[in-house]
Structure 1
């Protein structure tokens, strides 16, 4: 495919791969730690440099990620590979530090209903819970990312006002986080809303150099929303290999933006990602075999043996 650039877009985009954590957390059948480790290794071999691997939440809430320590102990290490993990509270941070983690993410919600369902706390209570986690992490020299979920809509509360998202996001960034990932958890956003949200955050001092976007493709808008974010100046995009994922606490949250679909679009725009698409597709086909179902990624489907375009 010949690349054709568009004006106003970045030359390079960093992909924050969430497949091993966000992609697998909703799977009912537990994936063995060895398979997860090979998944991460294959993703790294395909050129992905930031791979969110697991979460130090209580195993009761997300059984799929109960093997966090085991997984981290067998992952390949190199200075160029980043393995952030999710950390909900001080106990989770202690576990992360004990396992040599150098990058963590906290995860909040723009809405009260999801905050209670996801963290069993109000928005205020969850931010209060995060404060000592971030303080300790920064004191230990860790890099800290903040996720904010439900930035476009909530299955229980409906549309979420931009000013509400900005208020919660700004408070989380005021804790000292280096990066904010905007999560359209149920995939209802459209490009105008994405642009308005990024502009509103910029007006409060949270510029695009500190933003990432995390889109779900429930309504087929993930790539359109990504392009809108790139036009607005964002250069970090979350994606999940093979389109794996959802959210165990929001049933309407279907799969994440497939990394392959994102790379196909960026390659076509002449934007550098450092990712080998053929290796990435092969990796997602391999993982789909372990999960016992085909990948929902359109690019994986198109480039797989037997397809008309492969």
Structure 2
């Protein structure tokens, strides 16, 4: 086994979770939840996304959220998702210096998600990197393990995709199971092959829990050498442009499991559980894991 005794949990709930909530969440409530996540020990977080409010109204307060947290917290690694050049410029102008840009491995999902071909998206990403050299750009590789439109995504497709990314200067790639179809054998093979082929790339994993395999697949990724796991408080979220893509890996569930197998995260599970309970109680229509009604002092989480 290659996994370390410590991994980094990257919280994506404030973007990937909140974006699927139909009713607008008050900006102050978002700030309150994010601050409680920080208090629980989260040190790297996707705060929001710089998308058109017409398409995702929930993210209309992106500038205010980012400005507030950049000014208040200097020791937390904040970043935001951007779908295009305009989003990258908005993020840069407000002072953010780390972003995520999304390109699907499959053509069908990329077209549905951003209305471009994969090559067109890479051209725009290259432009962003050249025009904003101070921006650290993470690349979200969507549909790594399967596409709702094109079906199977081969490892050969993925390897060519990573080669394109490396060629334009990307050093961090997030492997996304966009619709939750990954299986442990597939995750292990993909991760081990990529880590061997591209040793200088920092790979992350982002698993959806559509078939209740989020924890298993994420754990297998750690066993295979991944050191950075994306998760969402309460299991909130799912891609709005991928049919059948239900919630994300639950941050509190995964931290609980890692605690029990002595893999450190630096995160306080009890505090994290309280944040998940608050999300379920105060955010209308939010998806939450089945465990949230338990008392935090129980020995086991059922």
Q: Give the TM interval when normalised to the shorter protein.
A: over 0.9
1:144 corresponds to 2:149: no
Give the count of matched residue pairs.
Answer: 301
Kept after mapping to 2: 8 A contact 1:166/1:200: no
- Normalising by structure 1, we get a TM-score of 0.91
What is the CA deviation profile of residues 104-162 of structure 1, one whole-angstrom value per residue up to 9, with x for unaligned ones?
Answer: 1111101111101111001111111111112233x22x222110011111112222111
1:38 corresponds to 2:32: yes
1:129 corresponds to 2:121: no
Kept after mapping to 1: 8 A contact 2:234/2:289: yes
Deviation at 1:309, TM superposition (A): 6.0
1:274 corresponds to 2:266: yes
Deviation at 1:206, TM superposition (A): 4.8
1:162 corresponds to 2:121: no
What SS does structure 2 have at the residue aligned with 1:300?
Answer: coil
1:73 corresponds to 2:59: no
Stretches of structure 1 lacking an aligned partner (at least 5 in a row): 1-6
1:289 corresponds to 2:281: yes
Structure 2 CA distance for aligned equivalents of residues 151 and 87 of structure 1:
19
Kept after mapping to 1: 8 A contact 2:12/2:230: yes
What is the CA deviation profile of residues 218-256 of structure 1, one whole-angstrom value per residue up to 9, with x for unaligned ones?
Answer: 011111111111111111000001100011111311100
Deviation at 1:203, TM superposition (A): 4.2
What is the CA deviation profile of residues 170-225 of structure 1, one whole-angstrom value per residue up to 9, with x for unaligned ones?
Answer: 31233222311000011110111011111332343255x61100000001111111
Counterpart in the other structure of 1:14: 8
Counterpart in the other structure of 1:199: 192
Kept after mapping to 1: 8 A contact 2:237/2:287: no
Deviation at 1:304, TM superposition (A): 5.8
Change (3 A) 1:23 1:173: farther
Query: Please, which moves more after superposition, 117-126 or 82-91?
Result: 82-91
1:195-274 counterparts in 2 under 5 A?
195-206=188-199, 210-274=202-266
Kept after mapping to 2: 8 A contact 1:281/1:303: no
Structure 1 CA distance for aligned equivalents of residues 56 and 114 of structure 2:
12
Alignment partner for residue 56 of structure 1, among 50, 55, 61?
Answer: 50
Change (3 A) 1:298 1:178: farther
Give RMSD over aligned pairs: 2.1
- Normalising by structure 2, we get a TM-score of 0.93
Counterpart in the other structure of 2:90: 95
Kept after mapping to 1: 8 A contact 2:103/2:139: yes
Kept after mapping to 1: 8 A contact 2:270/2:296: no
Change (3 A) 1:263 1:305: closer
Structure 1 CA distance for aligned equivalents of residues 18 and 265 of structure 2:
23
